[in-house]
């Protein structure tokens, strides 16, 4: 059977999402990848404000293209009188409602789980916020970088020996929250199959990222010294990080145990005696004396190209990686060999898109177009029972 024609896990599931920015759209795009119909509710004329973050993808915003393929766009002024009935009709056939509006906004619109569960007992409601539905921070605004700060992430980043912290180069707090929302929704759908009842999911960006901070938190348990800032190197394992080669390129390498240390000294450094040097013969000593060891490694690499260093590391069975920029990733030979790039349509034409991580023998993920703002207004409203005259009136009056 052609995998493209095979059933997907979430075929027949309908998701309504009042979403913007990254966390909720990243969650719902993954549900769409698995076959769900995702109806993205956006503000008329403006839409998801992530549509206007930049124009880097043939005039479209990079964040938006990444997180919104395979969705249907319905514009709706949720504060209008007519919106209540439209949302009611939408939710009648919906399986999941996702929202990451400002704190308290969904409840004011009558879209809290408590307000909906009696009318829609099978509906799963997923609320994504910065700090969660209760507690002293529940009304506090939250953006990705602010959560990186609150979660202690920034305390672990940046260069050693200074106070120059560095944010993650991607929206890591949003991504973490989106991933937990996605997995919780999948588990809620499984639970509903057993109980027949929907459930409420409360996702906090703070809790999502703090979970990912488990190692540095336990390392600093009961007031112990936290992991030091180490730039692109590992804070407590050495050598583990980037090192310059003689051609100006950098190579990333990592050692995990003493067997690899001996192999590194003999095969890569061509200095077997270094393995038993008392300054470096345990990981804790290598880490404590990393400046001295780094100087020796740089000296050994100074007459080698990056490719030659990597060849030696491969011979020694030492883990290594190229230090790629974005163009290097676009052209990565492993992604090409595994045929991970496909084309998706968009308002600006065909665009490359990475297939979702993980490959199933049972189905092919849905890779449908990135929608224009309000592209599916007429289609969705007609399916909800509205006639052409009503739809035209909605447009004239600014409802859609």
Report the C-alpha gap between 23 and 21 in whole angstroms. 7
Angle in degrees, CA 15, 19, 25, rounded to 5:
75
Q: What does the pLDDT read at residue 162?
A: 63
Q: Are residues 162 and 281 in the same domain?
A: no
Q: Give me the chain's average pLDDT, please.
A: 95
**Domain co-membership, 143 together with 88:** yes
Establish if 348 belongs to a structural domain. Answer: yes
Q: How many structural domains are present in the chain?
A: 2
Residue 248 in domain: yes
State the CATH number of the domain containing residue 60.
3.40.50.10540
Q: ω before 117 within 30° of 0 (cis)?
A: no
Residues 353 and 299 in one domain: no
Q: Say if 221 falls within a structural domain.
A: no
> Is residue 270 a contact partner of residue 300, using CB atoms and an 8 Å limit?
yes
CATH of the domain at 246: 3.30.1540.10
| Final residue of a structural domain among 294, 323, 352 | 323
Question: Would residue 246 count as lying in a domain?
Answer: yes
- Kindly state the percentage of the chain with pLDDT values over 90: 93
What is the pTM assigned to this prediction?
Answer: 0.93
Q: Counting Cβ atoms within 10 Å, is residue 154 exposed (0-12), middle (13-18) or buried (19+)?
A: middle
Given a cut of 90, is residue 71 above it in pLDDT?
yes
Q: Is residue 298 part of a domain?
A: yes
Where do runs of H (alpha helix) occur along the chain?
23-33, 62-67, 81-92, 105-108, 113-116, 144-150, 172-195, 205-212, 214-219, 258-263, 283-288, 290-301, 306-315, 326-330, 333-337, 377-383, 388-396
One domain for residues 123 and 269 = no
In this structure, is residue 114 part of a structural domain?
yes
pLDDT band per the 50, 70, 90 thresholds, residue 255 = very high
- Does 284 share its domain with 387? no
DSSP letter at 2? -
**Co-location of 246 and 175 in the same domain:** no
Considering 269, 295, 323, which residue would you say is the last residue of a domain? 323
The Cβ of residue 135 has, within 10 Å, a number of other Cβ atoms equal to 11
Same domain? For 62 and 139 the reply is yes
d(CA 27, CA 186): 11
**204 and 252 assigned to the same domain:** no
Has residue 1 got a pLDDT over 70?
no
pLDDT at position 4 over 80 = no
Task: Give pLDDT tens digits for 333-364.
Answer: 999 999 999 999 999 999 999 999 999 999 99
Output the six-digit token pair for 120: 């829609």
Structural contact between residues 145 and 117, judged by C-beta atoms closer than 8 angstroms: no
CA distances from 86 to 27, 163, 265, 373 (A): 23, 52, 69, 18
The per-residue DSSP string of 88-141 comes to HHHHHT-SEEEE--STTHHHHTT-SHHHHTTT-TT-EEEEEESS-SSSTTTT--
Give mean pLDDT, residues 201-206.
Answer: 98
* Per-residue model confidence (pLDDT) at position 259: 96
Q: Are residues 53 and 133 in the same domain?
A: yes
Residue that terminates a domain, selected from 297, 323, 349: 323
**223 domain residue, yes or no:** no
Residue 386 lies in a domain: yes
Per-residue tokens: 123: 């509906």
- Per the structure, the complete domain to which residue 276 belongs is given by 240-323
Interval 57-73 mean pLDDT? 97
Q: Are residues 186 and 273 in the same domain?
A: no
Whether residue 131 is found in the same domain as residue 39: yes
pLDDT tens figures, 16-42: 999 999 999 999 999 999 999 999 999
- pLDDT tens-digit readout, 130-152: 999 999 999 998 999 999 999 99
Do 187 and 42 lie in a common domain? yes
At 264-281, the pLDDT tens digits run 999 999 999 999 999 999
């Amino acid at each position: 059977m052609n995998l493209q024609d095979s059933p997907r896990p979430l075929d027949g599931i309908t998701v309504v999402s009042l979403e913007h920015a990254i966390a909720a759209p990243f969650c719902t795009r993954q549900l769409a990848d698995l076959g769900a119909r995702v109806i993205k509710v956006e503000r008329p004329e403006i839409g998801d404000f992530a549509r206007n973050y930049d124009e880097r993808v043939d005039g479209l915003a990079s964040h938006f293209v990444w997180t919104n393929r395979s969705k249907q766009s319905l514009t709706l002024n949720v504060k209008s009188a007519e919106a209540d009935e439209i949302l009611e009709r939408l939710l009648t056939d919906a399986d999941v409602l996702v929202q990451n509006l400002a704190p308290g906004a969904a409840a004011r619109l009558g879209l809290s789980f408590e307000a909906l569960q009696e009318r829609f007992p099978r509906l799963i409601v997923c609320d994504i916020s910065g700090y969660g539905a209760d507690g002293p921070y529940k009304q506090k605004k939250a953006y990705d970088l602010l959560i990186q700060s609150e979660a202690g992430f920034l305390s672990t980043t940046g260069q050693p020996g200074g106070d120059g912290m560095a944010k993650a180069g991607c929206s890591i707090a949003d991504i973490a929250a989106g991933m937990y929302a996605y997995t919780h929704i999948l588990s809620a759908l499984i639970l509903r199959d057993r109980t027949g009842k929907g459930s409420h999911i409360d996702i906090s960006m703070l809790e999502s990222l703090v979970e990912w901070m488990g190692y540095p938190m336990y390392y600093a348990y009961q007031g112990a010294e936290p992991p030091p800032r180490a730039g692109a190197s590992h804070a407590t394992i050495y050598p583990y990080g980037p090192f310059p080669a003689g051609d100006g390129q950098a190579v990333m390498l990592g050692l995990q145990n003493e067997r690899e240390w001996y192999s590194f000294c003999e095969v890569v450094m061509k200095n077997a005696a270094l393995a038993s040097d008392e300054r470096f013969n345990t990981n804790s000593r290598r880490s404590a004396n990393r400046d001295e060891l780094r100087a020796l490694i740089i000296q050994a690499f100074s007459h080698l190209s990056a490719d030659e260093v990597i060849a030696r590391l491969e011979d020694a069975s030492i883990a290594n990686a190229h230090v790629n920029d974005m163009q290097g990733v676009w052209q990565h030979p492993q992604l090409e060999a595994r045929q991970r790039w496909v084309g998706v349509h968009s308002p600006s034409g065909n665009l490359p898109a990475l297939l979702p991580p993980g490959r199933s023998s049972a189905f092919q993920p849905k890779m449908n177009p990135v929608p224009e703002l309000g592209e599916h207004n007429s289609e969705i409203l007609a399916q909800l029972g509205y006639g052409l005259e009503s739809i035209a009136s909605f447009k004239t009056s600014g409802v859609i």
